[in-house]
Amino acid sequence: MKEKNRRIVAFYLMISPWFLVFLVFGLFPMLYGLYLSFTNYYGFNMNKLKWVGLHQYKTLLTDSDAVHAMGRTLYLTALNVPLSTIIGLGLALLLNRRIRGAGIYRTVFYLPSIVPVVSSVLMWKFMFSSSNGILNSILEFLHIPAVNWMGYDYARLSLLIMLLWGAGGGVLVNLAGLKGIPRDLYEAAAIDGAAPFQSLRRITLPLMTPIIFFNVVLGIIGSLQIYLQPIMLTPGGRLMDRPIDPNYLYVVHAFQQIFSFQRFAYGMALLWVMFIVILVLALLVFRTSKYWVYYETEQEG
């Protein structure tokens, strides 16, 4: 066997455990869900499935709740992804400085990302509370009228604040990227008289674009699939409770359709549409990356 073929065989043998698990527990459920989205499946008629073609997808187009929920989800993603990316990069720039206790600061800023979602939501729910909530207590101390953070007007802002609280999760990746920038470049720039801001703009940001690209893609995928936070922020916080309209996001709508109304096939159609939206946005970011992402080596393909 030639060396090239031996390497190919070795490669497939090494990835085969992951590939088999992916086929059984990843790809097969996805494709089976796609098949169910073209049927009349409602949870108890598995032996009497009927092919209905694109009916579920046509229903989606006339479902005003689904359309508005998709709009809210995209709007929240458009706010959350850039803000969390900027905050994560800004924190990493601060923590990359040689200051005493930098390790403690890095731990503190990364801590929110390892706190379970349920715990963090309950904490923010307490802070947003209209009665004796910390945020309203601070506003009252400053002689500013209290705000109904859970109400219709501020619910989306409350959700966004809570999401940005976890922006420190990207600090480690950003710090790793910053550590990989050669110090020689900054020293050469300093000798040429470059100000710190010029070094940031001409050296740091261009070399950090692959990391920013990575965070943006993951941010889009995560933001479009937000589910638990709006549910937990709802008064009562039970899984079947419907959040108020500003926080009624697309995945929440899909969950409601599947588990509250037993519209399993329609729920599968909703989730496959979400998958296509994520795929399109990710491809869009990939296609535009050649204009703003800087790679030190030539990229193939």
* Contacting residues for 204 by C-beta, under 8 A, at least 6 apart: 93, 178, 181
Indicate the DSSP class of residue 152.
T
Q: Give start-end residues of each CATH 1.10.3720.10 domain in the chain.
A: 54-290
Q: Which residues contact 41 (CB under 8 A, 6 or more apart)?
A: 49, 264, 265, 268
Q: What is the pLDDT of residue 278?
A: 96
pLDDT at 115 over 60: yes
Please check the confidence at residue 297 and state whether its pLDDT lies above 70. Answer: no
Query: What is the pTM for the complete model shown?
Result: 0.86
| DSSP per-residue string spanning 191-237 | HTT--HHHHIIIIIHHHHHHHHHHHHHHHHHHHHT--HHHHHHSTT-
Q: Which of 221, 237, 240 is nearest to 229 (CA)?
A: 237
Q: How confident is the model at residue 300 (pLDDT cuts 50, 70, 90)?
A: low
Spatial CB neighbours of 292, under 8 Å, sequence gap ≥ 6: 209
**Residue 76's pLDDT band (cuts 50, 70, 90):** very high
Percent of the chain with pLDDT over 90: 50
Q: What is the CATH number of domain 54-290?
A: 1.10.3720.10
pLDDT at 170 (0 to 100): 79
Taking CA atoms, 89 is separated from 92, 178, 259, in Å, by 5, 10, 39
Residues 147-186 have pLDDT tens digits of: 888 888 899 999 999 999 887 777 888 988 998 898 899 9
Give the pLDDT mean for 220-225: 94
